Structure formats: structure tokens, C-alpha cells
Amino acid sequence: MDVMQKMFQYITGRDDTLILIWEKAQGWITASSKCRVLKDADYEHLSLFDLENWAHKDDRSTFHVFLSQLEAAIDGSPTGITKDEEKISVAVRLLSAEDQWAYQNINCWLERENGMIARIFVMTDPLDPEEIHRIHVAETFTSDRNPALIQKQALEIIHAHPEMKFAVVQFDVAKFKMILADYGEQKASEMLNFFVATLKVLCNKYQVYSRLSADVFMIITPYTDEQSLYDLVERLDKNLLGYDGIQYRIVYGICYIGDLSGGLRQYGDAAAMARQSIKNNAMQKVAFFQSNLKENISTNKFIEDNMNHALESGEFVMYLQPKCNISDGKVIGAEALVRWIMPGNTVVPPNDFVPVFEKNGFIVKMDEYIWEQACRQIHSWMEAGITPIPISVNVSRRHLSNTSFIAVLDQLIEKYEIPRHYLEIEITETVNEAGIAESMTLLKEKGYTLLMDDFGSGYSSLNTLKDTQFDVIKIDRSFLNDFISSGRGKKIVEHTIGMARDIGLDMVAEGVESKEQADFLQTCGCTTAQGFYYAKPMPVEEFNKKYGMM
């Protein structure tokens, strides 16, 4: 009973501490009957589980998680409380005898016999202002771009414990949008609040946690070896999965913390990169940051730090790649592409910045910028008395889920006074899915020409052609290159083109690089192509000069 004796010594002369004892044979005993921590409590018959009635409504879910784990541990069921833990704690606001909400740490010391919990000593302890501040920081809905409060708190712990090793664990719910769609915003919000409540219980004083965005969470935690981090992941999974019967998967990214001269954010970014690298891999739920991802992180950060300035200062430039008639090589159209050219002619490759923009939403601004450049160029040709050629522009997935982007297109058409058929709309074949049909129908009703980009890139089917609202199919370069290398493959290409023509669809072959490819496509009935055999994408001035559009 050493622990019990120390507890009694601690509360001598104090009325702000409550002690409860649970004995396997006797149940709950209130050890401090003269204490008045709670308002209107019957201390003689009080148990730990009764305290939930005195908890603040915003803390009850946290307290409920805590009590559920403790109850499961008493029953010997699987729980987040590991078998070797001697003490667990939770901080909640309790209604005090003075009718005030006061933060109390509820500390539980666990005594085991033969591996089972035989005795629990519970002591409440008022939180000091610094501890309360830490709770408020942890509850702050911070930002993954600048989690300054969390970083400050974590750095204090790391610097105070140089003997410990620390790591960043970042996690989110895979395909969280499907949960939103299936269960609604309220249920999804309740699930994420349950995550927060559970982290309050699971994380100890050396672990700093935060909710970075809708479903992204981060823990900065000490560790002993790699296995201890896997153990943490398993503990999180055990406690976070299956909320209210909902089926979902949690994906984790982990990065070891090393040199802190560059701050903590770099390690959060690294954990995020590791997490995102396995988002679409159903067979893997944990990824550790590897050094080969560092260059990508640095590149992505540079892109995001400079993208707004680049747009404002005109560093994004529209290039045009001609679409040519295969029979005579005459230019009959062009595709608008974007190039990022920084001062000093430093070029940022599209493969670097376009995926970043698609992820962070900047692609919306980029699309609209290129749409206007295309409309301006068509208007320029008309003003100069030159018969325009159609320019096709890309519309990203970010736009297609909401028809409001069509109003932007209409305003540009009206502003530059150009016929709609001169501005063609390219939509990637892989976005031809539920939720997009409304936008496509409205575009068709307004008279826009729709081009299916990347046909044959991996998601095509006969149903795609049967049900499509597209006017033109653009054959992906990979489909062309993969199939024309064999006799059977050539037959597939030939019949695909023939089938599309039979149902009234025009065809454009992308990525044509040789005369042999162009000749083969022509024999199959494809009349239009674009690719390096004809011309690479080029600045508008060069395009106009080369093709007499000046």
C-alpha cells in the first residue's frame, strides 16, 4: 500500500484532490470523503465511472474513451492500455464544488497480479496554467502549412529530453471523401472528433498531437527503435478504427527527427510525403520517409512558395502544339499547354508543378489563366483578319465536380467575342465518372466541343464509347506505342479507330513521332495527329510565325 500511503500524505490538509480506490474484491472505495472537488457529489458512493457525469460536455467523449479502455483492461479485453503500463492519465474539466469548470488530471495507478489488474488507485490533481495551455494548443485546429503552436510545444519537450529520440507520425483516413458521401458531414465530423478524444487519452506527456486539417493528424513522439513506432501505429489502429461500425483504413507516414537547425516543419513535410506515397496502396498502411523523397519535398515546397508570385508576374506562358491533318500536314487546330519560365529562362518542368497544383487546388487558377490566354489569342487572329483555328484547353478534375466553372468559360467567350466552337474542352478520360456528367451535359448544351484526353491510358472500355458525351477521342501516346509494335496490337488500334468513327466520333492521335506511325494511323482511318513528328509545343509567337497566323 505504499502508493496509497503516499496519496494520503499528498492530500493532507488539501480539499482540491479526490482519491478513489478500486479493489478487485471490494469494488470502489472513496478514500477522501471530506474532499469537495465535485459539485453536489455523494463522495461515499462515488466511483471513477461516475465522474463522467461531472465532466464538461466537450470533454465527455474523451473521458468516455478513457473509461472504456480502463474497463476493458479490468475485464482483460484487448485495450489501448498495454500490459506493462503502471499509470494512465486523462485531463478533463470537472464541475467543482464552487460551481466552476476546472481542469483536473485524473491519474490512475495500476497494480497487477498474475498479469491482470487487481487494484487501481485514482487521484485527481488540478492542472497548472502551463498544462492547461498545452491542452488548448493540442486542441487547436492548426494548419499543415504552419503548425507553429504545436512545433513550439514539441521543441520544448525535445530540448528538455536530449536523451530521447523523437519522430513525427502523420496519419489520415484513406478515401475520407467516400465517408463524407456515404455517411454525411455530421457523422464524418463525429468520427474525427472521436479521433481527437482518443488521442487525448492515448498520448502521454512526451507526445504532442495535433489535427492539421480535416482528417489529417500528427503526433510528435519519442521512440526507442523502429518497432516501437510500429507498436504505436498498432495501438492507434486498435483504438481509432471502426468508429460506429464505419469501415475505413488509416494510412501512416513516419519520419525520424534529426538536426533541428532547419526547424520541425521539414520533418512534418517528410512524414506527409511518406504518407501520401502509399495512399493508393491498399496493401500498405505505414511508410517511413526515405532520403529519395527529400528532393521531391524540396521541389514541392519551392513550387508552392513561388506559384502565386509566378502567376502574378506572368511567368506562366501558354505554348501551342499543332494538330495536323495526316494526309497533307496542314494545321487544323492546336492544344494549349502551360510552361513555367522563371527569370533567367529557368524552366520548371510541367511534370513537377502540375501534380502539385492538382493536389493543392492551384490548378483552378492555372486552368482559368490558360483559358483566357487561349481566348485572347483566338480574338487576336480574328482582329487581324486571319481565320482562326480551334484551340483546345484542359479542364482539371477540380473544376468538373462543380458546374460553376462553365460560367467562367462563358464570360471569357463573351469578353473576347469568339464563337464557342473555337474553344474546345479537353477532359481526361479517367474523370468520366459519377458527378461529372452534369458538367459535361451542360457544356454540350452550350455548344462546346468536348475532347476525351488520354483515351486508352488504362481506364477505357466499350462502355466509355457507348455512353460518351465526347465529340472527339484523343488516343493516348502510350496506347499507340504499346499496340502498334505487334500485328495483333495493330488490329486492336485499327478496330478501335474504326469503331469510334462508326459511332460518329472524330479521332486525334497524340504522341506521333514518326512517319511510319502517321502512315499506319491514316490507313486505319484516323485523319488528325499531334506529336513531335509534326512539331513540339512552342511559344505563341513562334507558332504564329511558323504557320502564317500573324
Q: Using an 8 Å Cβ cutoff, are 325 and 506 in contact?
A: no
Quick check: is 548 in a domain?
no
Quick check: is 532 in a domain?
yes
Q: CATH number, domain at 207?
A: 3.30.70.270
316: pLDDT strictly greater than 50: yes
pLDDT value at residue 148: 61
What's the whole-number mean pLDDT along residues 55-80? 78
Quick check: is 431 in a domain?
yes
Residues 296, 294, 344: CA angle, nearest 5 degrees: 55
Q: Using an 8 Å Cβ cutoff, are 345 and 317 in contact?
A: no
Asked whether residue 96 falls in the same domain as residue 64, the answer is yes
The residue out of 102, 126, 150 marking a domain boundary is 126
Our CA dihedral for 468, 474, 480, 482, rounded to 10 degrees, sits at: -60
Taking only the tens place, the pLDDT of each residue in 340-385 is 998 888 888 898 899 889 888 899 999 999 999 999 999 999 999 9
pLDDT value at residue 311: 94
Q: Using an 8 Å Cβ cutoff, are 143 and 213 in contact?
A: yes
* Residue entry with cell 502567376: 311
Q: CATH number, domain at 504?
A: 3.20.20.450
Quick check: is 546 in a domain?
no
Asked whether residue 214 falls in the same domain as residue 247, the answer is yes
Taking only the tens place, the pLDDT of each residue in 256-284 is 998 888 788 888 888 988 898 887 777 78
- In 343-475, the DSSP E strands lie at 346-348, 391-394, 423-428, 450-455, 472-475
Asked whether residue 453 falls in the same domain as residue 337, the answer is yes
Asked whether residue 312 falls in the same domain as residue 282, the answer is no
Asked whether residue 9 falls in the same domain as residue 43, the answer is yes
Structural domain of residue 37, as residue ranges?
2-126
The residue out of 268, 289, 310 marking a domain boundary is 289
Does pTM surpass 0.75?
no
Asked whether residue 313 falls in the same domain as residue 456, the answer is yes
Asked whether residue 269 falls in the same domain as residue 349, the answer is no
| Closest by CA position to 306, among listed 371, 373, 362, 368 | 362
| Closest by CA position to 529, among listed 472, 464, 469, 446 | 472
Asked whether residue 341 falls in the same domain as residue 200, the answer is no
Quick check: is 549 in a domain?
no
Q: How many separate domains does the chain show?
A: 3
457: pLDDT strictly greater than 70: no
Q: CATH number, domain at 55?
A: 3.30.450.20
Taking only the tens place, the pLDDT of each residue in 119-163 is 888 888 888 777 777 676 666 554 444 456 678 888 989 999 999
Asked whether residue 185 falls in the same domain as residue 204, the answer is yes
Q: Report which of residues 440 and 413 the model is more confident about.
A: 413
Asked whether residue 484 falls in the same domain as residue 356, the answer is yes
